[in-house]
Amino acid sequence: MTVQSHYQFFKTYPFEAARRLTALDARHPQARLHGHSFGLTVTTGPTDNLEDQVFAKLDQALYTLLPHLDYQYLNESTGLPHPNDAHLINWIWGKLPPFSAEAELRSTASTGVRLNRQGTFHFYQQFDLHSAHFLPHLPPTHKCHRLHGHNFKVILEWSASSLAKVLSYEEAAGHFIPVQKQLHRRLLNEIEGLENPTAENLAAWLWRHLKISIPALSSVTVYETPTAGTCYDGNLWDCFKTFTFDSALPASEQDIMGHTYDLRLHVRNQLDPHLGWTRDFGEFHTLLKPYYQQIDHHPLHEIETLPSPHMPRLADWIYHHLKPNLPELASIRLNDTEHTGMIAHFDGTQS
C-alpha cells in the first residue's frame, strides 16, 4: 500500500513587547502597562520543499512584520486598543504569507493561542498536578505497577470561531481549579473513575469533568513526564513520546554541521480496555532502538538506506522502519533547533 506523506514546517520568532489591555477593569493588573517575552510560531501548509527553502521564505515574509512587534508598545504599533492574545494573533494572521496554515502566539510559559486558516482560534492553558499512582492491571514485574508519582502537566485547549465571546484564561482556570484540588497531591487510584490512572484515563477523566463547564473544550493533554504524554479530544487519544539524538550532516559541499534533534512519535488509537492505554511508553524505546542507534552520534549522510539527511526524508525513513510494528503511528515531529522543525503526517492524517 502506498503511504501518503504530508510535510509541514514551522519556525518560532521570539519577540519582546509591552501592552495594556484597556478593555479590562482599570484595577486589573493587565490593564496597567506590562510586558511579555512572546513567541510567534508560524506553520506552513503541506509542502514538498526542503527546510532551507521553506525557512528562507518564512524569514522573508516575517522580515516586514517583526519590526511592528519586537520591543514595541503593541497598542501603538498594531493600532489595537486592546491587544490581548486573541486580537493580536488575529492582527498577525492578516500579515502572514498565504502559504501559512497556522500561527501560534505564546504569551507566557503556560498560555497561548493558535489560529488556523479556517479561522478557528484554539486557546490553551497549562496547569500542574503533583500526584501519585500505580497501574494495577500491569504485571507485578512492570515498574509502573509499583506505587510512584509524577509532576503531571495538564493542558486544556478550547476553541472559538470568532472574537465575539472568548473564554478567558482566568475563566478557564476558575473551572479547572476545583477539579485540580481533587487530584493535586493525591493518590489518583483512590479517586472514583481513576482506579486505573494511566495518562490516557486521566485525560479522559478530565475531559468528562470539564466538558460540561467548558463547552468549548476541544482537547485535554496530559504530560506524564516532560517527554511522554497523551492528548484526548473526546474521541481518540494521540499519544506521543520524545527522543533526543545528536547527528551530523552536510552544511555545503565543503563543510559539515550538526544538530541535536528532538524526535516525537505520535500514535492515534482507541484504548486497550483492560490496560487502559494505547501503548506502553516503554515500547517506543524498544521499537525505535535499532534505528536510533543508526542516527544518534552518526553522520546522517553516510546512512546507506537514508536517501537524504533532510528532515522530510529522515521522518520517512523512521516511519517506514517503525510502521510494521507500530501500525498506529500517525505522525512524526522533528525539531532540528529550538525554533525550527517539521511535522510529517502519514496516510493523510493531519493535526
Cell for 105? 502566539
What pLDDT, on the 0 to 100 scale, is given for residue 284? Answer: 92
Tell me whether the CATH fold assigned to 122-235 matches the one assigned to 247-351. yes
Q: What is the pLDDT of residue 47?
A: 84
pLDDT value, residue 24? 87
Strand-pair category, 256-269 with 237-250: antiparallel
Query: Which residues make Cβ contacts (< 8 Å) with residue 230, sequence separation at least 6?
Result: 199, 200, 203, 221, 222, 224, 237, 238, 239, 240, 278
Output the average pLDDT for the chain.
94
Please report, in tens digits, the pLDDT of each residue of the chain (351 residues total). Answer: 455 679 999 999 999 999 999 988 888 999 999 999 999 999 999 887 778 889 999 999 999 999 999 999 999 999 999 999 999 999 999 999 999 999 999 999 999 999 999 999 999 999 999 999 999 999 999 999 999 999 999 999 999 998 888 899 999 999 999 999 999 999 999 999 999 999 999 999 999 999 999 999 999 999 999 999 999 999 999 999 999 999 999 988 889 999 999 999 999 988 988 998 988 888 999 999 999 999 999 999 999 999 999 999 999 999 999 999 999 999 999 999 999 999 999 974 444
Q: For 293-337, how does the pLDDT look when each residue is reduced to its tens digit (9 = 90+)? A: 999 999 999 999 999 999 999 999 999 999 999 999 999 999 999
Assessment of whether the complete model's pTM goes beyond 0.75 = yes
Which pLDDT value is given to residue 152? Answer: 98
Residue 94 grid coordinates: 492578516
Structural domain boundaries of the chain? 1-119, 122-235, 247-351
Class assignment of domain 247-351? alpha beta
Euclidean distance between the first and final Cα of the chain, in Å? 22
Angle, vertex CA 269, rays to CA 289 and CA 296, nearest 5 = 20
Encode pLDDT of 232-259 as tens digits: 999 999 999 999 999 999 988 889 999 9
- Domain 122-235 falls in which CATH fold? Tetrahydropterin Synthase; Chain A (3.30.479)
Quick one: pLDDT at residue 31? 92
CA distance 14 to 65: 12
Are 225 and 150 in contact by the 8 Å Cβ rule? The answer is: yes
Query: What pLDDT score does 2 carry?
Result: 52
The pLDDT value recorded for residue 51 is 86
**So what's the architecture of 1-119 in CATH?**
2-Layer Sandwich (3.30)
